[in-house]
Amino acid sequence: MTLIEIVGFISAAIIGISLGLIGGGGSILTVPVLVYLLGVNPVTATAYSLFIVGFSSLLGGVNYARKGLVNYKTGIVFTIPAFISVYLTRLLLVPALPDTFFTINGFEFTKSIGIMVLFALLMIAASYSMIKDRKELKKELKDVDTPQKFNYPLIIIEGVIVGALTGLVGAGGGFLIIPALVILAKLPMKEAVGTSLLIIAAKSLIGFIGDIQSGGDIDWAFLGVFTLIAASGIYIGSFLSTKVDGQKLKKGFGWFVLIMGSFMIFKELFM
């Protein structure tokens, strides 16, 4: 095993620790770690990420469920359009994408480059919710103490969009789901986080099934080791969360994600 591969597996633990420590964000680094450190093909990396993110989110969601912080009705309403969308995206859309979209002056914009650029843009969007001051976010996502009333058309549209993005890049999309649950389903923030984790788990794992059925080449031994390391990190992060200020770490991690996303765009398009 080379040094860079060792760093890649250590990064798996860091991904898990960040999930346990700050409640999210770490999974956004799964695809870059798999591609740049462990040499996994970007399309395959998005499939692996679905399994890793799904399994990790399931662990976190069960923890929230034990505390009574999951709204199952909302989860079902949001999950149905999301998992149909992610499943069809992995089964039909991703395999159908052309290997090369276009060529300009000898530069080929391939499927792999397109996936990594889209992923980098989502990283930059996700970093916003991590960097922004907690008080400002609370003003934008204010808990509404009113009877729950579903905005079904918008929830279905949001579910389809988030599912398609998850299917394309392998990211959980919590930074899109949580605001939707607070604004469209009127959930309190903590309940939105818990419900979001189970939604992410369901749609990610179902999306991964679409990969299996489309004939994706899965290295189960590698995937199992990486996932177990990440899962172990979650428990370490949960323990550290009682001793470290997670909000300060979250802002610092947000800046790191922003820099990484910007670097990925530059690397894919200009290097």
d(CA 227, CA 66): 23
Confidence of residue 255 (pLDDT cuts 50, 70, 90): confident
CA distances in angstroms from 155 to 178, 191, 224, listed in the order given: 12, 17, 34
Q: What is the mean pLDDT of residues 216-222?
A: 87
DSSP element (H, E) containing 189: helix 189-213
Mean per-residue pLDDT over the chain, rounded = 82
pLDDT in tens, 235-247: 787 777 677 766 6
Confidence of residue 142 (pLDDT cuts 50, 70, 90): low
**Residue 25, pLDDT above cutoff 80:** no
The neighbour count for residue 258, using CB atoms within 10 Å, is 18
**Residue 137, pLDDT above cutoff 60:** no
Q: What is the mean pLDDT of residues 196-208?
A: 86
| pLDDT above 70 as % of the chain | 88
**What does the pLDDT read at residue 266?**
92
Q: Which residue has the higher pLDDT, 26 or 159?
A: 159
d(CA 234, CA 13): 8
Q: What is the mean pLDDT of residues 77-99?
A: 88
**What does the pLDDT read at residue 225?**
93
**What does the pLDDT read at residue 166?**
82
**What does the pLDDT read at residue 133?**
60
**What does the pLDDT read at residue 74?**
86
Q: Which residue has the higher pLDDT, 174 or 85?
A: 85
Structural contact between residues 165 and 48, judged by C-beta atoms closer than 8 angstroms: no
> What pTM was computed for the model?
0.79
Q: Which residue has the higher pLDDT, 180 or 269?
A: 269
Confidence of residue 27 (pLDDT cuts 50, 70, 90): low
| pLDDT above 90 as % of the chain | 11
Structural contact between residues 43 and 170, judged by C-beta atoms closer than 8 angstroms: no
d(CA 31, CA 3): 19
Q: Which residue has the higher pLDDT, 258 or 182?
A: 258
Contacts 24+ apart (CB under 8 A), 26-31: 26/56, 27/52, 27/53, 27/56, 27/57, 27/171, 27/172, 27/174, 28/122, 28/123, 28/126, 28/171, 28/172, 28/257, 29/257, 29/260, 30/170, 30/171, 30/230, 31/116, 31/119, 31/169, 31/170, 31/171
**What does the pLDDT read at residue 253?**
79
pLDDT in tens, 151-195: 778 888 888 888 888 888 877 677 778 777 877 777 887 788 888
Query: Coil, helix or strand for 65?
Result: helix
Structural contact between residues 60 and 52, judged by C-beta atoms closer than 8 angstroms: no
**Domain range list for the chain:** 3-270
